[in-house]
Amino acid sequence: MKAQTFAIGGIACLMLLAGCGEVYQPIVKDTVMIKKINQVMPEKKQEYPGTLSEDTVKNLSVDAVNRLFHPHISSEDLSLEVSTLDLEQVKRMLYRISGDTNTDPVAQYEAYLNAIPNGIYRVIISNRDKPYIDYIVIMNAKDGDILEINSYAGYESDPVKGGSQPGKDELVSIARQFLKQLSDVNPDDLEPREQPILGNQVYRSVLFQNKETQNIQYVLTLHLNTREVVGFSKDIMSVFLAPVP
């Protein structure tokens, strides 16, 4: 059965606001995933001071997907839906996932929040002729920095059958190789988070933290059958998979 489906990082945190309990489900184009915060762009394109244009956002999203996942997709064949989340809404999400804690998440992740003064864009990419989402991209609304990409295209959703599942060391090694594709990564600054790798029988997520701050900086999700990275989150979006302890 085609996957079209796993939810990780920002998608998981957005689902929290929708009250969804199960995140490993097929994502259909018309599904409402977040409450009252999916400010979908109107048909008439609008420009917002200090943010990228909608056309630029779409082009950057497709370019990032092609660069990191190599599907060779073209905008002409795709449906792209753009929505926004402002900084205050991101802060509220941080408080919601943090719960009752002595640590103020906004203070702890101040550097990540300062990097997105105009919030974030979410781009849903799908084939015009198919009912399922192929990719979801989240980027900094100010400068187009890619904060998250998740691939839902062409993966099996059944558990691994036959053979052995990759162990933690292999998963970390695969994740590190993927990180080398990201121009802003210094591997010497990162270390795997010492905790059980998150996931289920189909996917695993590897968390990398900054050695100096001990804050989560990258989360990579791998498909166990293919041993391929199918999603990554960084900076503020990575926090939503590993909230304030």
Q: Could you tell me the pLDDT band of residue 133, with boundaries at 50, 70 and 90?
A: confident
Given this model, what pLDDT does residue 160 score? 56
Do the beta carbons of residue 236 and residue 109 sit within 8 Å? yes
Which residue type occupies 207? L
**Stretch 171-200: mean pLDDT:** 83
Q: 216 has which bridge partners?
A: 209
> Does 139 have pLDDT greater than 50?
yes
First-to-last C-alpha distance (Å) of the chain: 36
- In this prediction, residue 128 carries a pLDDT of 83
pLDDT, one tens digit per residue, over 208-245 is 999 998 888 999 999 988 899 999 999 999 998 764 55
Q: Does an H or E element contain 90, and which?
A: helix 87-98
CB 225 within 8 A of CB 160: yes
What pLDDT does 97 receive? 85
Bigger pLDDT: 184 vs 95: 95
**Number of CB atoms found within 10 A of residue 13's CB:** 23
DSSP structure class, residue 243: -
Q: What percent of the chain shows pLDDT beyond 90?
A: 44
Length of the chain: 245
DSSP annotation of 42: P
142 pLDDT above the threshold of 90:
yes
